[in-house]
Structure formats: structure tokens, C-alpha cells
Structure 1
Amino acid sequence: MQPYAASDNLYQRDALFLDVRRESLFLAAHHPRAVNIPLEELADRIHELPPPYETLLLFDMDPLRAEQAAAILHDRDRLVEVIAPDNVRWNDEAMVSGASTARLWRPHGLLHELIAAMQAEWGDVKGRIALDIACGAGRDAVFLAEQGLHVTAWDILPDAVTRCTDLARRTGVRLAASVRDVTIAGAIPPGAFDAVCCFNFLHRPLMPALAEAVRPGGFVCYETFVDPQRERFGKPARPERVLRPGELASFFNSWRVIVSREGLVSPRRIAASLIAQRPVT
């Protein structure tokens, strides 16, 4: 039996509430900060959750459904506390109806710095064109689309593209997501984007084409694993997927560097982070 969450946890300002009831029940009444992912959809929507090291407070009026949801999350190494259906503090909250405006997932933090750099250069970024390479489940691409950018998102995995498209639909933004192998010569058109973003993917022969894809005056936003990531955490399995210290910045040494740092970005992730602007001439 999953132990119930401590009542005090419900009052934490940064508490993350996951309501796994069926959508119709959620829409009728729910906690104002809760996000609904029904139990029946949970296994397919793990990418809409926060990082694994953050605790989710999980709710369903049916204890059996709550237990099933907790088991799904535990199997994926997620931290979970179940809210008891009769929890006084939970039930004393002023419940709301309709769709939730809350969110559990979030993009890579470096993207906030990218948007700030673009705004400093251009003011309004709406209508600017961005590319997200190796987009995965689409959190970064959707975030960029929410800022008003016209976003193209590519991944080699069809399942990832499906999740990206689905997340965009649920969030209410439009983007162009498709399957593409960027390691093939000519896969990335030159000079087509105001910003090119890439996270947790490294293919060194791609770097010249990636740089050429950025229009003069545009930006690259890149973050991926750097040594000693493998030594400390054992992943990625392939050493060629990990940067050497100082290597990322060297690919863009003629650009104006806005952000360049290396270090621990989450409990088990050591990364090199870079934002750089391509010279106009």
C-alpha cells in the first residue's frame, strides 16, 4: 500500500499535483493547481511530467486507481506521494471546474536565456523561425511556439514526433514536426533559421551544417553531455556522445558568445551549455 502524502505537503507553493481521474470528473471539479492525466493515458504521457527527481502528489478518489497510477510511476523511477481521498486540507481547497491552466512539464532552462537574447537583439520575437533538432517529446519545441516563434521540430524516431505533435495540440500551439535524419548530408537547409536549438544530442560531423543553418545575426542554443558525465553517472553509453571540456564553444569560436558554461545542470546530468550569435558579416 502506497503511504499517503503528508498534509503539510499540500500547502507547499511548488507542490506538483497530478490528478489521474477520468477527464469528465476532473473537468467537473479539481484542485486549482492540479493537472489531469487520466490513469488510462498515464503510461503514454510520461513525457508531460516534471523531471524524475521531483515528487508528484497524486490524486484519485478511487484508492485502487491511485495505487495503479503510483505503480506505473514507480516503475519509471518517479517519486510519488498519494493524496488520501479524505484529506481535509485537499478537500478544503476552493475547487475549480473546466480545463486546467497548470502544467507539470517544462522546457530546458537554457531556452529562457535564448528568448531573452533574441528579445535583446530584435525586440518582439513573434514570427521568427526556429529549428529544434532531436526534439524528443517536444517540450522545447512547444515552449518556443508559445513564445510566438514558427517552429520546425525534427527527430529520427516516429514515436517522438507523434508525442511532440500531441503535446503541441494539447497546449494549443502550432508547429511543424516531422521525422528526419539530420546526419544525412544536406538534411539541414543553410541560412533558413533565426535560431537553431539542440539538446542532449551530439554528432560532431553535423556541427558545420548546424552552424550554416543559422541566418547571419541569428542564434544557436546547444546543450548536451560533457565529461566527466560518463565517469560519474555511466551514461550515455557511447563515449562519442559526450563532449570534451571546452569543445562545444570551439565549434562556434568566431561567433559572439552570450552563454558558455559547463557543470551540473540536474542531479545526474553534467552538460555544456551554449548560446551564441552568428556574425552578420
Structure 2
Amino acid sequence: MHPSAAGDSDSGAVTPPQALASHGLAAWPAGAAILDVREADAFARGHLPGCGHVPAAELAERRGELPARHCELLIVADSAAIARAAAEQLAQFGYARLAWLDGAVSDPSHLAIDLGPAQRLWRPSPFLEAILPRLGRGRALDLAAGTGREAATLALHGFEVEAWDHDEGALSRARRLAASAGVAVTTRRVDLERRSVRLPASEFDVVTVFRFLHRPLFPRLEAALRPGGHLVYETFLEGQSRYGRPTHARFLLAPGELQRAFGTLEVLHYEETDPPGGPVLARLLARRPADLKANSSSAPLGAHPAPPDLA
């Protein structure tokens, strides 16, 4: 994921978290996320049912394990002060629907206590979740993988996954995220914008790209697919700059551009979304025909020119 195309769009505004009185805990909306920021030993002794767990000191490092920034999120801790400080830190990260428990989560009045594992709070792209049943199994390559939510999801679905990104710190978090989900992901540090970057020929049953755009890479994606393999691509469209990053045309697709970008692939699904508040996205699911011969795909980028309208 390119730093100019960060995962959740944001406008830079910080919304102050709200206090939730302890007696109001039962009224917290069903299905809304709860994050326990106590240390691991305290969490293991008992916690609220259905809550996630990341210690307060690890929030910055483990942001990939948190829910999307538009989600409603309640922070609980051993004291109101710790919960409030953690909530304020998350507000700086762009979370806009935050509350913190004004009391200790270990208070005996919280009778519903769970001793099981933490709830997984993070989710991959909803588009990937929706199309997973259509992808089968096999080898998957997640490009510009960032902190690895999509890569871990593919691994949970039974794929053998490689995750490539230019940021070693992000890849370290991707490995940790996968391990926390009970799966393994192979990571590789690769600058996908270098002309010399190579993708293996006809090696992958699925190639995924989320919120990353480098048009010269398009021919390489087609050639990396095995016959019958799927390309899953989601990234930002023109108009996204109304809501936040990215704003540069280099990182924004024109309407219909992604649908036309892969001439050798069969388009199975294409959509463009512009919901209130963003993000503005194009989403593509395409398949390489089973009888299509591979190009000499181990050649560097630039050996296969992009279509004229994408150059």
C-alpha cells in the first residue's frame, strides 16, 4: 500500500472521544467493537465477552489489528484514565466514533466475564470478503500488502500466501497479524514501482491489489496468473480527494479505467462506489482464460507497454 494511498481515507480532523459511564455499559450497541487495552495477564484473568485485546503500549505498532477507523469503538482498561488516554491516542489515528469506559473494566459489577481468546476486530476489504467463495484455493500473491489484512484473510481461507510491500515495518506487522489469526504468510520486501521488479510467470491462482496504483505494473499482474486464476483489484477513483488521501492523479483511476486495463482477462465483476463520506473506489474481479498462453513474464517492467490510455 503506497503511503499516499493509506488504507482508510481521512480528512485530518480529530473527533474527541466520549466518556461512557460504567452503568451504561449494558447499553453499548450490540455488534459495536470493544477494545481492552490492559496487559495480557490481566486480560487472561477475565474480560468482557466479544472484546478485542491490544495493550495500550502497543497500539501504534499493532494498528493493523484494530477495526476500520469509521467503526464505533469502546476502549476499556483497569482505570478510566488509561482508557481515556488510549482513546485519545486512537483519535489521533483518525478514529471518529470513540468512547472510553469511565471506570475499571475489572469492576465486579461487570458480571459478564469471559475467559476465552480475544475477538478479532480487524476486517479485510468488504469486497474481498464478498468474493472469497469464488476464488477457490491455491497460491495467492497480495501486492502492496501493507499490514496484511487481506493476506491473512486469504490464508484463513486456505491459500498459500505471499505478501509483498516496500515497507519492512508493515511486513513485520503483517506477519504478526497473520500469527495472531493462527495462519502464516510469507513476506517479501519489494518496491513495486521499480522498473526492474519481476513477478513470476503463471505462478499464482489469485493476485490481489488493494488501494495501490502503479499503472506500469498492470501487464505483470496478468502474466503472473495461472490459467483460470483470478485478479482482485480495488483502489481509489477520481473524486476521492473530496474526502482525503490520495489526491494526486497518479494514484487515482479515471472512471472505467480499471475495467479496461487488462485486455487478456475476462471481467467477472466491476463496480465503482461513491458512498457519502467516501471512499471513492473501483473494484474488479477478473479471470485469466484457461487456454491463454503466458507472455515472457519474467521480463522487467517496461518490456510490456501499458495500453495507450494508461500510459
The aligned counterpart of 1:122 is none
Larger RCO: 1 or 2 (CA < 8 Å, sep 6+):
2
C-alpha distance after superposition, 1:146-174 (max 9, x if no partner)? 01100000001111111101111211101
Instruction: State how far apart, in whole Å, the 2-side matches of 1:2 and 1:235 are.
Output: 23
Instruction: Tell me if the contact between 2:204 and 2:226 (Cα under 8 Å) persists in the aligned partners.
Output: yes
Partner SS state of residue 153, structure 1: strand
Deviations 1:42-91 (CA, angstroms, capped at 9, x unpaired): 12112211121212111012122112212211222213101232689994
Provide the residue aligned with 1:280 in structure 2: 290
Contact 2:35 2:74 in 1 (8 A): yes
Answer yes or no: is 1:95 the counterpart of 2:113: yes
How many aligned positions are there? 272
3-state DSSP of counterpart to 1:83: strand
Asked if the contact 1:10/1:89 (under 8 Å) is kept, the reply is no
SS of equivalent residue, structure 1 residue 17: strand
Q: Which of 60, 64, 89 in structure 2 is aligned with 1:47?
A: 64
Structure 2 residue identity aligned to 1:94: A
Measured in 2, the distance between the counterparts of 1:40 and 1:10 equals: 28
Q: Which of the numbers 243, 251, 256 marks the counterpart of 2:261?
A: 251
Cα distance in 2 for partners of 1:158, 1:265 equals: 33
How far residue 10 of structure 1 moved from its aligned partner, in angstroms, is 4.1
1 CA distance for matches of 2:110 and 2:101? Answer: 13
Q: Which amino acid aligns with 2:213?
A: L
**Residue in 2 that maps onto 1:105:** 122
Cα distance in 2 for partners of 1:150, 1:55 equals: 33
Equivalent residue number for residue 4 of structure 1: 19
Q: Does the Cα contact within 8 Å between 1:192 and 1:214 map onto a contact in 2?
A: yes
The question of whether the paired residues in 2 share the 8 Å contact of 1:137 and 1:160 is answered with yes
The structural deviation recorded for 1:2 is 5.9
Q: Which moved more, 1:66-75 or 1:218-227?
A: 66-75
Shift of 1:4: 2.2
Q: Using the TM superposition, name which of 65-74 and 109-118 deviates more.
A: 109-118
8 Å CA contact 2:219–2:262 kept in 1: the answer is no
Q: Which is further off, 36-45 or 19-28?
A: 36-45
**Where do 1:1-281 residues align within 5 Å?**
3-5=18-20, 7=24, 10-78=27-95, 79-85=97-103, 91-100=109-118, 102-119=119-136, 125=137, 128-183=138-193, 184-230=195-241, 232-264=242-274, 267-281=277-291
Gaps of 5+ in 2: 1-15, 292-311
More helix by percentage:
1
Q: Return closer, same or farther for 1:182/1:226 CA change in 2, 3 Å cut-off.
A: same
User: Any conservation in 1 of the 2:54–2:62 contact (CA below 8 Å)?
Assistant: yes
Structure 1: how far apart are the matches of 2:162 and 2:218? 18
CA apart distance, 1:253: 4.0
For the 8 Å contact 2:38–2:77, the answer to whether it is kept is yes
How many angstroms apart in 2 are the aligned matches of 1:221 and 1:202?
13
Distance 1:29 1:87, change over 3 A: closer
Unpaired runs of 5+ residues, structure 1, are 120-124
> Equivalent pairs: percent with the same residue?
34
Q: In the aligned structure 2, how far is the partner of 1:10 from the partner of 1:87? A: 15
CA deviation vs aligned residue, 1:98-141 (integer Å, no higher than 9, x gap): 422x111100011123322124xxxxx2xx00000000010100
Q: Which amino acid aligns with 1:84?
A: D
